[in-house]
Amino acid sequence: MRTKTRQQHFNCIHAEIGEEIEATTDPDSSFYKDNGTVVGDLFAAGFETVSLKLSWAVLFLSTFQEVQKKLQEELDSVVGRNRYPALADRPLLPYVEATITETLRYSTIVPFNLF
């Protein structure tokens, strides 16, 4: 089985956005002319940032498995296993919220110690 690299996924999605920009004739569409270019730029800028933060989260949770266990327990007690979490669950998930916030705070996108 062949898996796609992060760059291949990015290229596929970026190509889809480009095709949507070219095909759109509705001036109210988010993909119409300059709006489409902005959407493409925002996607490109956010892609690497999000993937890096998710990589950090996976690293932290694999390193600190007790945190992973507490997260799963909180999710199971509030959400259960029969549905996905919703925004309405957010106030009921303080440990999940704190873990996400701490991951965002502690992880880095640019290694500033190189400058």
Choose the final residue of a domain: 41, 63, 85.
63
- Looking at the fold, whether 27 and 41 belong to one and the same domain comes out as yes
Q: Beta-carbon neighbour count of residue 82 at 10 Å?
A: 5
The phi, psi pair for 82, rounded to 5°, reads -100, 0
Mark whether 73 and 98 lie in a shared domain: yes
pTM of the model: 0.61
| Domain closes at, from 39, 63, 87 | 63
Instruction: Say if residues 53 and 109 touch (Cβ distance below 8 Å).
Output: yes
* Residue 29 and residue 51 in one domain: yes
- The whole-number pLDDT of residue 1 equals 46
Q: Please choose, from the candidates 95, 49, 57, the residue with its C-alpha nearest in 3D space to the C-alpha of residue 75.
A: 95
- Are 113 and 82 in the same domain? yes
Q: What is the pLDDT of residue 44?
A: 74
pLDDT tens, position by position, 67-108: 999 999 999 999 999 999 999 999 999 999 999 999 988 887
pLDDT value, residue 4: 62
Residue 20 to residue 39: CA distance in whole angstroms:
11
Whose tokens are 């880095």? That residue is 108
Asked if residue 109 and residue 57 are part of one domain, the reply reads no
Can you give the residue range of the structural domain that contains 72?
A: 64-115
